[in-house]
Amino acid sequence: MDTTKNKKSEDFKITGNWEKQSKQLAKKFSQLTKADLKLESGKDNELLERIETRLNKNRAEVINLIKNCQPVEVRADLAKWIV
């Protein structure tokens, strides 16, 4: 088992203004609900799992979607999470 990949997935953190990012995602994907996009402190991975399930996408795809909703300076930091 590749523990490096699992560690990166477990440690993923949402950065930037989540309120703005979640509104962009909701506009782009009408099937996402407010509950799907609710970010609770320390529960970033649960948020990712809800989005993955609702959109039927894998974790890397969801991280990429989130990355594309962020300002350029935040995107550079997120690049390390794409596996």
Query: Tens-of-pLDDT digits for all 83 residues of the chain?
Result: 444 444 444 567 888 889 999 999 999 999 999 999 999 998 999 999 999 999 999 999 999 998 888 765 555 555 565 55
Domain boundaries, given as residue ranges, for the chain: 17-81
Question: How does the average pLDDT of the chain come out, rounded?
Answer: 81
Q: Is 40 left (phi over 0), alpha (psi -120 to 50) or beta?
A: beta
What pTM does this model have? 0.73
CB 81 within 8 A of CB 10: no
